[in-house]
Chain A
Amino acid sequence: AQSVTQLDSQVPVFEEAPVELRCNYSSSVSVYLFWYVQYPNQGLQLLLKYLSGSTLVKGINGFEAEFNKSQTSFHLRKPSVHISDTAEYFCAVSDPNTGNQFYFGTGTSLTVIP
């Protein structure tokens, strides 16, 4: 089975500063990669996904992520964060060879400091 590691459980960052949230996954076979965001009292919302093609993926709210197959990573970045980006961020992986389920990391809590 796949496993996903989000090394940083909490990331505080000042407003307008850049941020990178790290995600590593276990398998080197073809996988699909996703980042979800959860705002307080809301469901998981898709930020972006990588299925194939360009390794740099752009998502909503100015976020982007880069797929690095050799390092089995899919780090999420934003060049300038806003207060409204304060939320929990989840990296997820699916392996089309093993079924429909998503494998999630433990999440990273991003706090943007004014």
Chain B
Amino acid sequence: EPEVTQTPSHQVTQMGQEVILRCVPISNHLYFYWYRQILGQKVEFLVSFYNNEISEKSEIFDDQFSVERPDGSNFTLKIRSTKLEDSAMYFCASSVGQGGTDTQYFGPGTRLTVL
């Protein structure tokens, strides 16, 4: 069964460093998402992406964050200058149609630890 994959599973970085989290969505999906979960808190929406542009973003997704689909398979989340509070589990998801009604399929997550 097709699945969303994410690399790395765990990333440790120093505060102020740039990180890139990678995701490979399911191949025929058109909508892509990033969510994050700070330990003990809710899973929070960051951004959705469709047709090579951001379709929706939350207040969390400020200028430090960017997303890109550099080729036909990868979908990346970049954090330019990491802060301690960016430490969280980051989930990538994808869906065939619009995520409001269509099922979003999630990857296993990348645990980001900022020291």
| Chain A positions near chain B (C-beta within 8 angstroms) | 4, 32, 34, 36, 41-46, 49, 51, 90, 92, 94-96, 99-107
Contact = CB atoms under 8 A, between A and B. Distances in A.
B24 to A, nearest CB: 12
B100 A99 contact: yes
A43 to B, nearest CB: 4
A96 B106 contact: no
Task: Give chain B's interface residue range (CB within 8 Å of chain A).
Answer: 20 to 34
Contacts of B56: 99-101
Given A104-B43, A105-B42, A106-B41, A95 B100 contact: yes
Contacts of A4: 42
Interface string B33-74: 101000011111100100000011010000000000000000
A43 B100 contact: no
Contact of A49 (B103, B106, B107): B103
B98 A100 contact: yes
Interface in B4-47: 4, 6, 9, 31, 33, 35, 40-45
A34 B108 CA distance: 18
B44 A43 contact: no
Contacts of A36: 106
A51 B45 contact: no
A100 B91 contact: no
Nearest to B106: A44
Contacts of A43: 3-4, 6, 91, 105-109
Interface string B98-115: 111101111111000000
B75 to A, nearest CB: 14
A34 B41 CA distance: 18
A51 B6 CA distance: 29
B99 A94 contact: yes
Contact of B58 (A44, A92, A101): A101
B16 to A, nearest CB: 29
Given A32-B100, A43-B3, A51-B101, 5 more contacts: A34-B103, A46-B103, A102-B43, A103-B45, A104-B44
